[in-house]
Each structure stands twice: as C-alpha cells, then as structure tokens.
Amino acid sequence: MTGFAARLRAATRAEHRDAETRGFLTRLLGGTVPPAGFAALTAQYLIVYRELEAAAATMRDNPVAAGFADPALARVAALETDLAHLRGSAGEPAVEPVEATRRYAARLREYCHTSPVHFIAHHYVRYLGDLSGGRLVGRRVAAIYGLERAGTAFYRFDRIADPAAYKAAYRARLDALALTGPELAALAGEARLAFALNAAMFQELGSAYPEDLGSAA
Ligand code: HEM
C-alpha cells in the first residue's frame, strides 16, 4: 500500500469528498435536479471529454502515457447519444458550457496534449471515478429520470467487462510510472486541481439549476 496509486488516492481524498458532496451531485442522487439540469451536466461532460479524448489520441504514442490512453474507455460517442436523447425529451436547445467548464476545458487543451504528467492526472480523476462511484450514479439517474440505455450510456463501459480488474490494472500502471519524485508530486497536484475544476463545475450547475422538487421525479 505504499505505491504511487495508494499515495495518489490519499493525496486527493479530501478533494474527492469535496467533489462528492457538492450540492448538485447529492441533489442529483436525491432526485431534485430538474431534467434540464441533468441534460446540462451531460453537455458539460461532453465538452470535457472531447478535450480529454483529443489529448488521449495524441498521447497514444507517448512512452509514459500510452498505457492510459485506452480507446476502450472512450466516452464521447456515448455522451453524444445521451445528449441527443435528453435534449429531445426535454425539448431543450443546445446547452452552453458554464464558466467553470470553459476553464476546465482550457486547462486540458493547454497541458494534456504535451505533458504526460498532466494528462495522466486528469485521466485518473475522470475515468477511475467513472469506473467507481460513477456506475452507482448511472443506476440512480436512470431510475430517477426513467431512462433506459439512451440517456445514461455515459455511465456504462460496454468494452470493459470487469471494472474492478480494470481498476487494479490501472493502479498497477500508476505504480509502475517511470517518473521522478518531483514529477509524481506534480501529477498529484494536477489531480487535486482536476478535482477542484470538477467541483467548480458542479457548483455552477447547482446555481443554474436550483432545487426543483416537482419536475425531476
Ligand atoms: C456522488 C458522487 C460520488 C460517489 C458516490 C463516489 C464514490 C466513489 C467510491 C465508492 C470510490 C471507491 C471505489 C474503489 O475503491 O474501487 C470512488 C473512487 C474514486 N472516485 Fe468517486 N465518487 C463520487 C464522485 C466522484 C467525482 C465527482 C469524481 C471526480 C471528478 C470522483 C473520482 C474518483 C476517483 C478518481 C476514484 C479512485 C480513487 C482511487 O482509488 O485512487 N468521484 N468514488
């Protein structure tokens, strides 16, 4: 339990708790985010994952990061399908990025195409989260909004048969990273920032879509 994966988890524990307990996510799980708010969250994710997966395409040849840039994780196509479905049923126009999403996307664009350290940090925060608590969130929102596959495809990884085994292999890859101490410290710092960028996004969505006890059920 002294490898880098365990240290990274410990180094981001407080940030995880903070992101997890932001009002928007707890309300999402409690069923008090209006359907338009869930569509807006899906749209923010699409913006973020377009950047992350564009970076992954460039990192596929990088000696340090290539192992992480696995096409089986790709989320953009699922998010596009989900968003088309959610917009259709909510009758909503295209959803714009909130300011925090713009900042998040800009950070990914600026650093993650060229720096494996930054890329892996952002990759870890999103995909390992999606393979963990994200699957629970998917089941909850499907029940709350009465959705079948369309609308919640983002939360399912059809090309990953055993998420627990995948996460174990992912952590082994983190443990085996050929990076110096300062580079590993920079990676943990960037992962903390990635959590904060996510938390800011949830915060802003929470203000944009206040509690609506009537329409989410
Ligand atoms: C309601 C919201 C959330 C719940 C219930 C939740 C729950 C969990 C749980 C139970 C684990 C541990 C899984 C395991 O040990 O295998 C986990 C891990 C993780 N979560 Fe979350 N989470 C939530 C939100 C988030 C968010 C918003 C992010 C990032 C933006 C995130 C990122 C992560 C990461 C990176 C891990 C892996 C930690 C590690 O083992 O290194 N989670 N989550």
Does residue 68 sit in helix, strand or coil?
coil
What does the alpha-carbon distance between residue 10 and residue 44 come to, in Å, rounded to a whole number?
27
Domain 4-207: assigned CATH number:
1.20.910.10
* Of the candidates 107, 126, 10, 15, the residue with the CA atom closest to the CA atom of residue 68: 126
Range 18-34 average pLDDT: 91
Structure token pair of residue 16: 């995880």
> Please, what is the Cα angle at 116 between 115 and 120, to 5 degrees?
125
* pLDDT value at residue 216: 44
pLDDT over threshold 90, residue 95 = no
78 Cα: distance to centroid of ligand 1 (angstroms): 20
Structural domain boundaries of the chain? 4-207
93 Cα: distance to centroid of ligand 1 (angstroms): 31
pLDDT, tens only, 98-154: 999 999 999 999 999 999 999 999 999 999 999 998 888 999 999 999 998 889 999
124 close to ligand 1 (CB < 6 Angstrom): yes
Amino acid (one-letter) located at 198: N
